[in-house]
Structure 1
Amino acid sequence: MTTIPVIDLAPALGGTAEARMAVARQMEAACTDIGFFTIRGHGVPLALIDGLRSHAKHFFNLPLERKLEAQPEDPAVPRGYRALGFDALSRGNAGQAPGDLKEYYHFGRERWPDAPYYTGEEGRRYFVPNRWPKEPQGWADTAAAYYGHMERLTNEMMALVALALGLDERFFADKIDRHITAMRINFYPAQTAAPEPGQLRAGAHTDYGLLTILNGENTAGGLQVQTRQGDWLPVETAPDTFVVNIGDLLMRWTNDRWVSNVHRVVNPPVEAGAEAQRISIAFFHHPNYDALVECVAPPGQAKYPPVRSGDYRTQKYRQTRV
C-alpha cells in the first residue's frame, strides 16, 4: 500500500443494509492491511472543527506561564495542559527515547450521570472534571460540542466494525455506552533548537483503545504510519476529513486480524521555521472501563488473555510518562 485508503461514510450513515455492508467491507480491507484510513462524509460540521482548532491555536500561542496555570497540580491526573516533553509515547511500546516534542491539552466529557459507575471509587479514576483556562473564552463549550459529535460518529463506526467482523451490528453497544474516551489537542511548536538523538514530535507508538479519530494539518513534520514492509508512509489530511486508526484493544478483540499499527510524528526540516507549527485533534475512543476485551476467535486460538479496558489504559499511561 502506497497511500492511505479514503472511505466515504455518507452511504452508511442511515443508509440501506447493503450500503452499510459495502462501507464495512472497505473498513475491513484497510484495517487488515495497514490499520489506517481516512474518512469523509462523516457529518461533523466544518465550522465546529475550525472553531475548536482556532481556540487551540489561541491557547497554545499564549506565554508559557499562562499555559502552566491550566496544568493539574497532580501530574497523574489526565486533564489540562501538559508542557513540552511531558511524555514519550514510544515507551508504551517498549521503546526508549527522550520526551516528545509536543505540548497538549487533555480533556474528557463535560458531565456524566450521578450514578455509582461514574462516581464510585473506580469510576472517579476515569470520569475526571475537566480543567479549562480563563482564555480563550468559549473553548470548553466548543470542545463539548465536538466531543458529542465524536460520540455519535464512533457509535456509528463501531456498528460498522461489528458488521465487518461478521458480528451482530450491536455487538459493541453495551461495551461502549459508558466509554472512558479522552481527547488530546496536540500542539507541535516550531523547533528553535536541534532535537536530542532519537527525539521526535511523537515517538513511534500504537494507540491503546478502539478507534482514534484525528483531525490534523498538512504541515512540515507530520504523521507517518509504518507499512508491513517497514517503510514509513506520510499520512495526508484535509480540514474536512478525519484520519482513523485502530488501537490495541480492537486488535486484541479481532485476535490480530486487524492491525494496531505503529505511527509517529516526525520533526520538520530546519528550514521550515515558524511555518512548521502544527495542531492535531485526537479522539481516543476507549470502551467502558469494566468492559472485558476477549478475542473473537474459536476456542483455543486466542492470542491474548482477556483484559479489562480500564486496566489496559492505566498501564499504558504509566509506561509513557517521562
Structure 2
Amino acid sequence: MSSKKPDTTTIPIVDLGQLGLGVAGGPSEDELQRVAKELGAALTGVGFVYLKNHGIPSQQVEAVFSSASKFFSLGKETKLKYETGPSQSHGYLAVDRQKLDASAKFLEQRETFNVKDMTYPLPDEEVPEMRMALETFRASCWALVSNVLTAIAIAIDLERDFFTSTQEELFKSGGESFAVLRMAYYPTVPATVPPNTIRSGAHTDYSTITLLFQDDMGGLQVRDVEGRWVDATPIPGTIVVNAGDLLQFWTGGKYVAMEHRVIIPEEEVRRQPPSQSIAFFVDPNAETLVRPLDGSNTYQPITAKQHLLNRIRMIYT
C-alpha cells in the first residue's frame, strides 16, 4: 500500500462518472471503487473536494438561485414574516443574526433561508415558483448524496448502506432529521467595506457532509492543516463537498471537518453585485448515536440532535 501523504493544500476534483445522476444501469464495481478511493483521499487531506459530472442539471440549480433572489429582494417586513429562531431549522435569518465565527468579532453580511421540510411555510404568495424549484432540486440532491455516502462507506470498509441507513428521516414529512437546504444571499457591499466585515465567519459544518453550489463570485476559503487559507474558487459545472463534524466523529478524525469561511472578494467590491450560494447539509436521523467506528475514545458518543443543539447555542445572536 502506498505511503504517500495526503494532499492537504489543494482541493482536488473527483469525476463521479457512473455515480453521477442519470447514468443508465448504475455504476460498475470498478467505478465504485475508483470514486471511493478518490473521495477518501480528498477527505483525508484537505477535507474538501469538487465533484464534476455529478448529474444535477444546471437548470435546477439556476431555478433555485432565481427564486431565492426574488425572495431576498422582497422588503424587510415581508421577509420577516418567515423569520426563524434558534430552536428551529426552517425559515429566514436576517444579516448578522447568525455568528458562525466563534469569536463573534465580525459583522457577517449574509441573509439565509433554511428549508428543513416542504411542509413548513414557504413564500408561496410572494415567490410561487420557489416550491416546485426546491422540490425538484432537493430530490436530485438526495439521490446524489446517496451515491456519495455509499462511496464514502466503501472507502472506510463499512457496509455500503451504513451512512444512507441513518438518513431515512430526511425526506419524510415531519421526519426527525436536521438536514437542511440553505439558500444564502450576500447583499451588495459599499465601495469601502467596513472593518471586520465578512460573508460567513470561520466555522466547521455540523453535518455528515455538505453539498455546496456556488455562483461565479466565490469567496469560499478553506483553512488547511498548516493554518493557511486556500481559495475554493468556483469551477463551472462542479459541486463542492466537504466533511462535517459528524463524519469526523464517526471516522475518529480520519476525515476532518476543516474550518472554512466566506470572504468578500476584491472582484465583488469592484463589480458591486450581490452573490448567492446554496448549501445542502446532510444530517443523520436526530437520535442517531455517533461514535468513533474504530472503537477509540477520540470523541465521546453524541446524538446528531444533541450536537446540533450544542452548535446552535454558540452561533445565534
TM-score between the two structures when normalised by the length of structure 2: 0.88
2:25 paired with 1:28: no
Whole-angstrom CA distance in 2 between matches of 1:63 and 1:206: 31
Of residues 66, 69, 73, the one that matches 1:61 is 73
1:100-115 to 2 correspondences below 5 Å: 100-111=108-119
Partner of 1:83: 94
Contact kept, 8 Å, 1:110 with 1:144, in 2: the verdict is yes
Partner of 1:187: 185
Residue by residue over 1:297-317, the C-alpha shift from the partner in whole angstroms, topping out at 9 and shown as x without a partner, is: 14xx33011110111111111
**How far 1:108 sits from its partner (Å)?**
1.6
Partner of 2:63: 51
2:238 paired with 1:247: no
Partner of 1:282: 279
Q: Percentage identity across aligned positions?
A: 29
Partner of 1:11: 18
Per the alignment, in what secondary structure is the counterpart of residue 65 of structure 2? helix
Number of residue pairs the alignment of both structures matches: 298
Partner of 1:310: 305
2:310 paired with 1:319: no
Of residues 107, 123, 132, the one that matches 2:123 is 132
**How far 1:198 sits from its partner (Å)?**
3.5
Per the alignment, in what secondary structure is the counterpart of residue 108 of structure 2? coil
Structure 2 unaligned runs (5+)?
Answer: 1-6, 21-25, 171-176
Partner of 2:174: none
2:121 maps to amino acid: N
Describe the shift of the 1:228–1:62 C-alpha distance in structure 2 as closer, same or farther (beyond 3 A): same
Contact kept, 8 Å, 1:80 with 1:132, in 2: the verdict is no
Partner of 1:123: none
Whole-angstrom CA distance in 2 between matches of 1:141 and 1:77: 23
TM-score between the two structures when normalised by the length of structure 1: 0.86
Contact kept, 8 Å, 1:46 with 1:239, in 2: the verdict is no
Whole-angstrom CA distance in 1 between matches of 2:132 and 2:301: 37
2:54 paired with 1:70: no
2:52 paired with 1:40: yes
2:165 maps to amino acid: D
Residue by residue over 1:157-183, the C-alpha shift from the partner in whole angstroms, topping out at 9 and shown as x without a partner, is: 111110011112122232111132111
Contact kept, 8 Å, 2:17 with 2:31, in 1: the verdict is no
**How far 1:133 sits from its partner (Å)?**
5.0
